[in-house]
Amino acid sequence: MLRHSVASLPGRLITQRGTVYRAGSVSLPGRFFHTSLTHNVVKPYLLADIGEGITECQIIKWFVKAGDTVQQFDPICEVQSDKASVEITSRYDGTIKKINYEVDDMAAVGAPLMDIEVDDSDGPTADDTNASSPPTEVNSSGSVQPSENLDTVAEQNTPPSTPHPATQHQSQPASSTPKNCGTMLPSVRHLLKQHKIDLSEVTGTGKGGRVLKEDVQKHMAAKSPSHDSTGVQQTRTTTPPEDVIVPLTPVQNQMYQSMTQSLSIPHFLYSQTVDVTDLTSLRKKFLNNPKALAQLTANGAKKLSPLPFITKALSQAVTKYPTLNSSLVHETGAKPQLALKGSHNIGIAMDTPKGLVVPVIKNVQSHSIISLAAEIERLSALAREGRLSPDSMKGATMLVSNIGSIGGQVVAPIIMSPMVMILAIGRSQKVPEFETGEDGTRELVEKEQAVFSWSADHRVLDGATVARCAEEMAFWLENVNMMGLSLV
């Protein structure tokens, strides 16, 4: 028990018979009182800005539920923005009081993700004083929240029990999230929820056992009775299946915005067949050489695909034709300008379970073939796991799409503003071709070829410049043994 006079406790919270007072703001009985040295407060935990331009995120998975105790840096939830998947960790030691969003909900940046009860003895933090945060209350233990009117509190004998009005709905506890739900597409989760299907009953046929939309549909068809209890086949229904409206995923939403903006670009298309026979032969020799393979492994790479060579050859070509490594600059009231980029930052389009992502390899002009192979593998692994950071997908000056790894030969890739070009690589194929020998005789030989499809912004790039750059790139790939003479 601490004994003080009123004059010695300016601004301090005091209690008497369960009533909360502020010394100096109310009249106090002339008797001794005690002070509480610690207070628990319920704070709104705001969703921080996880990247430039991000205004909302989709809740992918909760790692906590109401009533759980967490410490600083414990994982709270996983969110998916337009560009990346990010794990949110706790900034406090405390107890989760309320979760404000369910899995699949879109949470606005700056809005409260949840309410957490913490010890406020360290004083308020920056997000406690955020003007957008709702006012807090006196909790059931008699502690005072920072935004409460103390004159009003002094008149109350019973603390209010009104819950924190952060949102209109209460989320499901984290334990109700189906296993592997975070790896499913939102459309699949929507289908499961719509038809009230337990995820554990569905057999996934996707990579790593991931449940696909087709798996859910097969499960629904299997559970639909086609015979009655007597074994007599029932009449088939003629009711057509219902349409399902699903929201765009964050990745699809980003693609929608980017491609809509690309509609204003006049595309010039140019395709070219490139002989990659020597490239394939060199790769095989490299991978069959133990010393070369050890050097590759020492740099963090496990394989040597054609993509590092293609990326480096593009960098070599635009060194000679720098207008392809540029961007348009539009300023209000000023004439359009062309910014010639000093660095060759090449974005590589990658197909992932959550959609198309484009991580960027920075300063390709300073990379070797082996270091490019290691960087491509590193970014590919992060993309598959949904762990690409927003910074790893910013700053591209050129784009390469290796669509041939899936299929197709000639494509028409779409330019992403403000860049002025994109290159798509088709699937290689072996073809017969006549080759003239030194003695002038011609013989039929097998060649491996791939079609390179270029799209260029015709407002600033003419066809001749694009064709010359494409020929320069083809030269390096068709004479790949010479490429090392000019590489760093």
Do 181 and 103 contact (CB within 8 A), yes or no?
yes
pTM: 0.57
pLDDT at 180: 52
- Structural domains in the chain, sorted by start: 41-137+166-175 (2.40.50.100), 185-247 (4.10.320.10), 256-486 (3.30.559.10)
pLDDT at 466: 96
- Supply the DSSP symbol for 34: B
pLDDT at 234: 52
Strands annotated E in 146-199: none
pLDDT at 154: 36
Burial level of 206, CB count in 10 A (0-12/13-18/19+)? middle
Residue carrying structure tokens 């320069």? 472
Q: Indicate whether 37 pLDDT > 70.
A: no
For the chain, the helix, strand and coil percentages under 3-state DSSP, each to the nearest 5: 30, 25, 45
Do 286 and 280 contact (CB within 8 A), yes or no?
no
Express each pLDDT in 2-20 by its tens digit: 444 344 444 444 444 444 4
List the single range of 213-217, 362-366, 411-415 with lowest mean pLDDT: 213-217
Whole-angstrom distance, CA of residue 84 vs CA of residue 249:
12
pLDDT at 158: 41
Upper half-sphere CA count for residue 35 (Cβ side, 13 Å): 14
Do 386 and 354 contact (CB within 8 A), yes or no?
yes
pLDDT at 109: 87
pLDDT at 271: 95
Closest CA to 379 of 408, 411, 345: 345
Mean pLDDT of the 35-61 span: 78
List the single range of 110-114, 178-182, 296-300 with lowest mean pLDDT: 178-182
Mean pLDDT of the 122-150 span: 40
Do 422 and 396 contact (CB within 8 A), yes or no?
no
Indicate the pairing of strand 56-62 with strand 106-108: antiparallel
pLDDT at 116: 92
Q: Indicate whether 284 pLDDT > 70.
A: yes
Q: Indicate whether 138 pLDDT > 70.
A: no
DSSP result, 245-299: --PPPHHHHHHHHHHHHHTTS-EEEEEEEEE-HHHHHHHHHHHT-HHHHHHHHHT
Catalytic pick among 119, 151, 391, 462 = 462
Do 408 and 415 contact (CB within 8 A), yes or no?
no
Is 267 assigned a catalytic role?
no
Q: Confidence class of residue 263 from pLDDT cuts 50, 70 and 90?
A: confident
pLDDT at 365: 94
Whole-angstrom distance, CA of residue 15 vs CA of residue 20:
5
Whole-angstrom distance, CA of residue 268 vs CA of residue 462:
8
Express each pLDDT in 153-210 by its tens digit: 334 444 444 444 444 444 444 444 444 555 666 667 778 888 888 888 888 887 777 7
The average confidence (pLDDT) of the chain is 78
Is 195 assigned a catalytic role?
no
C-alpha Rg value of the chain to the nearest Å: 31
